[in-house]
Chains A and B, each alone.
Chain A
């Protein structure tokens, strides 16, 4: 196999995949296209169906309907052991009766790779996951982070087309998670394999991924690069699930050029264009805390430059957090958060300030029914407009 071709291995296409647990749908006709060689993350709260989708790609679960292709080969009815994948389990699932080297060797033996080649590959993998000198240990004698590396090496030993990772860092503490996250990314790049990674941790998803698919209630809500998802959420769920967001009730007043103009309270601001909205529609205007600008004088430079004011607020809380200074404000009975430069001008508590935002920065998402408030609480429910 040539280098050029091998670097293009591992395209995964799932089409119309549906899965049910005891008649309750866990995946609702999901489509997924993961490009060869890319690091793709399925991100979502627990119960959103991300692990189920991963297991269907692995063949550990059979979909009710739909198909899965790996590199143009229909594998929907191919048993797991012949799908040419690697899988890293959340609890690693290392074989406790086998040493580290034997764990890594397992897949090669099962595929009847010749002995000298096998040994060579095991040594390569041990080097790749930095476990020098630990090959003879049993999994029980390793730390959590080391076990995780074994699981990774074991999954990659047979050079799979696709590496599937089911919250592999979930069991580790925060520091180790960051360290190993970077490691996972490096190893994936070196191994030149496609990776599909499942997590509920947004930070992890952003650090590792080329692209991210946000899932909820058995559906993929939005797919995009971390930047796209953060800057341009397409619905309320994505807006709230990724990072912090201030949501303001607004009304569309015009669609102009590259922006959609909305009215918030007393102000009118230009947001990123959202073609799904018509003039007169209510919408949520989503602003990130670092996008909100706070000015001490309520009148000054109101309309100057590209900043557009949308009301005045009272500071109710002010906290220094190191890299940023966070103020909580109340505006029209609603609480809003703004992150300021800590070395800049910080308003006092109880001070009245003006709020503004740069034109074309805020995102607009459709208003959802009132019951859809907390995304974490309603993962199992059916989304009326989604299905």
Chain B
């Protein structure tokens, strides 16, 4: 029987795609460092892939004390079975006290399966991380009830304590690529028949635009006020000059103007950008639930009483077809937005 005190060190799982670290894993090394220091633990990055040595080195640059690296052909693409197998074997061998996982789709796929295999507690989609002073447990804070309530969760009796953490909440530290640290290579096989899902195809948006709303620093969203699909070109143009990602309200998705991948809100995505620009979006509570934790919200709407203005830091009351072209023109003059 393992005792709680047998479990040591804080792990951050660094999700890698095509040999590159996803941003959220590197972000988590920042709060990971703070929590590890409080409990006098090491901060260890865990990397899985087929050729992921560079990801391991990146994790060191962003602050990891050590990296555990598992490579194999079977890990070229993410699979639930393969990745859970690796993490489970690693946890069994090394016994970490805490595991932080980015709340990406794959992160939220792997984490519950792993937690259930280990029979430990998992807290989803955290936006706050701390150490509970009395017990030394990680205090996981997360929104619930559509963001109406925050809950702080502890996992006092089982180890490791696992949480998925929302992208964009924590900031990456300045990387130092001259840092050196140990990389431990572990060989863990997952037999072919043990991987029950097969990735056949990846379908990118036909327009070729990138729609990673969860990691976007600036989002420009369009809603019902656009009137028709073609008018999303105005949103795209503003997004282009701002270096932003295009989002939308549910109304625009349901009208068939843009794909669901862009939808922000209760039945779409929850986003945490630095700047969120809502154009022609009235601000139904379902939409607000997905974006009200943006650092700065800018709204453009012709209806002065639209609820979007209740959460907007800055709002222009006006017809978006008149406002947006002028805004695009003026921003082009300034060119660079600092984020």
A binds B: no
Residues of chain A having any CB pair with chain B under 8 Å: none
